[in-house]
A and B are shown apart, each in its own frame.
Chain A
Amino acid sequence: MKKLTLVFITMFAIASMATAQKYVTKNGKISFYSDGPLEKIEAHNSQVNSAINTETGQLAFKVLMKSFIFEKALMQEHFNENYVESDKFPNATFRGKITNAQKIDFTVNGSYEADIEGELTIHGITQKVSEKGTFTVSNDGIKGDSKFFVKIADYDISIPGAVTGKIAEEIEITVNVMLKPLGAL
């Protein structure tokens, strides 16, 4: 009976450790901005799924394209129907890893610069990307921030001839997530 109790306690402890290594959010924010000759385009999404395993440094994001909200309804329509074809490619994803994870101590409060590599999939096209980010560890959880650029052409997003050259070729992506230990949501 004592052995059985010990096995259960050990199993529970391992399960607790495994859970504590994983931080998640479903209220992450991603916005994009482009300032082209024709017009500025800005959109926000605040229902972004994100997870990080602090033990392995692996992280993932998943974004529903139709959840991007634009100031102008017409822009939102064009974005979903003509550019990213949201019905055909409903999600954008990122799966990657912190390559300098050994320099980040997720158990100690502070701000850490992170080098992140992984695969970004938009519009059904996957590209390898390498970006920088910041993780701020606090008693509230882990805050992750990053800002980077993506080229529209890299993701086979075609711009109608009438506006070619009038819309920026690169868009600025801003990521803000507040990750909490799995189970604390």
Chain B
Amino acid sequence: MKNWLKVFLFAGIVGLAAIAYMWFFMYNKPHTDYDKATPDFIISANECYNHFYNGQESPDKAFTGKVLQLHGFLTSVDDLDSTAVIVFTYNEGMFGDEGIRCTLLPTYKDEGLNFDKSKSITIKGFCSGYNDTDVILEHCSIIN
């Protein structure tokens, strides 16, 4: 086989491998497994709410976009279609109670709905920010 053909074939194989890598590992890369993720911050739910409510969110100490592990006493649990939302209430405003709202991963729905409110709960999830009434956490799991 001529040298130029070998080079051409090699370049083609490398190109195809690069496209396959892009397809499988970048375009189709999976979402973060928040159930197994290591928390960036471990704080009380009350401290977390006050952080946002008092305008302390800053580039130096940003909870938004991070995995938070919170502990505290939940106020209520909203039963939604395939999941449930753990609610910590610390204030009251135009939309009613304000605090922290944590959407559970579907596998934790039953545990959330049946959680004993007299006990402190520890949860972990992705903080998507503060909407001026509540701190929102998604993909939450119950640790204990």
Type the 1/0 row for B68-102, where 1 means its CB is closer than 8 Å to any CB of A. 00000000001010000100000000111100010
- Cβ of A185 and Cβ of B97 under 8 Å apart? yes
Contacts of A6 in B (CB 8 A): none
Q: How many residues of B contact A (CB 8 A)?
A: 27
Among A27, A47, A66, A74, max chain B CB count under 10 A is at: A47
Q: Judging by beta carbons under 8 Å apart, are A27 and B96 in contact? A: no
Tell whether, in the assembled complex, residue A67 and residue B80 are in contact, meaning their CB atoms are under 8 Å apart: no
- The tally of residues in A whose CB lies under 8 Å from a CB in B reads 24
B64 and A90 contact, CB distance less than 8 A: yes
Cα–Cα, bound, A81→B103 (Å): 23
The tally of CB-CB contacts under 8 A between chains A and B is: 70
* Inter-subunit contact B80/A46 (CB<8 Å): yes
A26 proximal to B (CB < 8 A): yes
Binds A, one of B6-14, B37-45, B113-121, B133-141: B133-141
Q: Which of A69, A74, A90, A183 contacts B96 (CB 8 A)?
A: A183
| B96, A24: Cβ atoms closer than 8 Å | yes
Q: Are A51 and B27 in contact (CB under 8 A)?
A: no
CB distance from A156 to the nearest CB of B (A): 21
Chain B residues with CB under 8 A of A69: 138
Given A74-B29, A182-B96, A185-B96, decide whether A26 and B101 contact each other with a Cβ distance below 8 A.
yes
CB-nearest residue of chain A to B65? A66
Do residues A73 and B32 form an inter-chain contact, with CB atoms below 8 A?
yes
CB pair A26–B31 under 8 Å, yes or no, is no
- Let me know if A49 is at the binding interface, CB within 8 A: yes
Query: Is A72 part of the binding interface, using a Cβ–Cβ cutoff of 8 Å?
Result: yes
B128 in contact (CB, < 8 A): yes
Task: Name the distance in Å between A41's Cβ and chain B's nearest Cβ.
Answer: 13
- A67 contacts B28, CB within 8 Å? no
Q: 18 A–B contact pairs at CB < 8 A?
A: A24-B95, A26-B101, A26-B134, A27-B78, A46-B80, A47-B85, A49-B134, A51-B94, A66-B136, A67-B128, A67-B129, A67-B138, A73-B29, A73-B30, A87-B65, A90-B129, A91-B131, A183-B96
Binding site for B on A (CB under 8 A): 24, 26-27, 46-47, 49, 51, 62-64, 66-67, 69, 72-74, 76, 86-87, 90-91, 182-183, 185
| A-B pairs, 3 with minimum CB distance | A66-B128, A73-B31, A67-B128
Which residues of B are interface residues toward A (Cβ below 8 A)?
26-32, 64-65, 78, 80, 85, 94-97, 101, 103, 128-134, 136, 138
Additional pairs, 5, CB under 8 Å, beyond known A26-B96, A73-B32: A51-B95, A62-B133, A67-B129, A72-B29, A185-B97
